Amino acid sequence: MKRKISTRITTILVLFVLAILLISSVISNSIIDKRFNNYLENQHEENMLKIKETIENFYYEDSGNFEVLMEQLNELSTIHQLYIEIENKKGKTIYTSGKKALESKNINKMPNRKWMGVQGMNMGEYIEQNYDIIINSEKIAELNIGYIGTYNLTEQDLIFKSAMNVSFLISGVIVLGVALIFSFLISKKISKPITSITNTANEMKNGNYTIRTEFSTKTKEFYDLSNSINYLADNLYKQEALRKRLTSDLVHEIKTPLTILNNHIEAFTDGIWEVDNEKLFSCQEEVLRLSKMVDNLNNIYMLEESKLNLNKEQFDITEFIKKIIGTFKPIYIKKNIELKYIGQDGILVFMDEDKIKQIIYNLLSNAYRYTDNNGEVIVSLEKQKENIVLRVKDNGIGISEEDLRNIFERFYRADASRDRETGGAGIGLTIVKTLIEAHKGSISVKSELNVGSEFIVKMPIRI
């Protein structure tokens, strides 16, 4: 089952905090428990020695006041909840604290038995330690001390340990609650931009290219992703508008010659026109126009699908360009446009000569079409390391900044009505671009409206 990213992030963070909490609790509890047991052990040992020293001091002093000793031992037995017994060297019991101290733990003196305290806690087994009372290197008595558990834990000791465990549990619950709230807030902060981007992408999938992601974030990755999605939406919106425009233009390009042909044929069949060579030639021109358009589209398709082979051969591209310029000069003279060449001589290249000719023809035709009378077109060529750079610069009508991004698209025309007047179909630059890319090159354009344009072609000398 698919889960929301906010749920997954919250779950992961809570589990992570829970794991850390569990590990830290186990380690902390282990360390504290160990140190507490060390403390109890030292305290217990001190109590045992204190009782032994009390008895030894009594015999050293030889005071004979045994009742004083009994009072001291009774007090120690009660305070530390111990069973104390003294036997003389003949094995006769001369003192016993009785089971009063043990009764405070609600137990009886019985070896090897586990006892439960008044709180239902495990007090441990009954243990007895034996000490010899030696005076002047002579054993005069034996001291037996009985207690419950390894360190003679009292009820208060166990309650303290239990309270520590409860405090750990309460602290853990509080930390877990805080972690849950914190994880929820973090997950919301992380998931919000992702959700926004997802919603935008879904809207774009449904054809809404006007939508944009709108959220504020200081996370660089989210900021970059948002910008990328918005950039994609902008491009899709422009591509959709371009597609509609191209469809309209293509319909017009096809419809115009078909309409002319239809009118001519109707005039022939209705007897309005007589069939003669001039009118047949006019029909043929429209057929050739359609045929040329289909051929251009086929060339673009084949180039983009890499189905056209490049017939590469070595030739002098400088002389090659000069010849092409020579063929264009009579056309340029009709509009009194000056066509000049500036560049290096003797540049040898290994390329497809026919394709290079098509590139230059399209660029010069384009420059002629959009340069007004008395204008100027300059063709320049230079060698830059392993590349050639061809420039075609005019001082014609120029291209707006908005149209610059689309001029290499199929059937795109910056000024549709004007282009139709000059005979353009809007695919010349598309062919140029695909032919250049087939030669592993690139084309760029610089233009300013009403100032002029400069097309820059860069291709490797050998491919």
- In percent, how much of the chain has pLDDT > 90? 21
CB 408 within 8 A of CB 430: yes
Round to whole Å and give the CA distance between 16 and 438: 55
pLDDT of the residue at 233: 86
Instruction: List, by residue range, all CATH 3.30.450 domains of the chain.
Output: 5-174
Q: Quick: pLDDT tens for 326-335.
A: 999 999 999 9
Q: What is the mean pLDDT of the chain?
A: 80
Q: What is the CA radius of gyration of the chain?
A: 52
DSSP 272: S
Round to whole Å and give the CA distance between 247 and 238: 14
Average pLDDT over residues 309-326: 92
CB 381 within 8 A of CB 320: no
Residues sharing a CB contact under 8 Å with residue 177, sequence separation 6 or more, in sequence order:
none
Round to whole Å and give the CA distance between 426 and 239: 16
pLDDT of the residue at 113: 39
Q: Model's pTM, two decimal places?
A: 0.48
Q: Quick: pLDDT tens for 159-170.
A: 777 787 788 788
Q: Quick: pLDDT tens for 353-407.
A: 999 999 999 999 999 999 999 999 999 999 998 999 999 999 999 988 888 877 8
Angstrom CA distances, 9 to 164, 196, 353, stand at: 33, 17, 61
Q: Quick: pLDDT tens for 39-68.
A: 888 888 888 888 888 888 887 765 557 788
Q: Quick: pLDDT tens for 62-106.
A: 555 778 888 888 888 887 778 888 888 888 888 888 766 555 554
User: At residue 148, does pLDDT exceed 60?
Assistant: yes
Q: Left (φ > 0), alpha (ψ -120 to 50) or beta: where does 64 sit? A: left
Fold of 5-174: Beta-Lactamase (3.30.450)
User: At residue 285, does pLDDT exceed 80?
Assistant: yes
Residue with tokens 């005069």: 140
Round to whole Å and give the CA distance between 391 and 454: 7
Round to whole Å and give the CA distance between 138 and 410: 120
User: At residue 204, does pLDDT exceed 90?
Assistant: no
- Assigned architecture for domain 309-460: 2-Layer Sandwich (3.30)
Angstrom CA distances, 144 to 121, 151, 223, stand at: 26, 16, 79
User: At residue 413, does pLDDT exceed 70?
Assistant: no
Instruction: List, by residue range, all CATH 3.30.565.10 domains of the chain.
Output: 309-460
Residues sharing a CB contact under 8 Å with residue 27, sequence separation 6 or more, in sequence order:
none
Instruction: List, by residue range, all CATH 1.10.287.130 domains of the chain.
Output: 220-302
Chain centre distance of CA 123: 57
Q: Quick: pLDDT tens for 99-135.
A: 665 555 544 444 443 443 434 445 567 788 888 888 8
**For the structural domain made of 220-302, what CATH number should be given?**
1.10.287.130
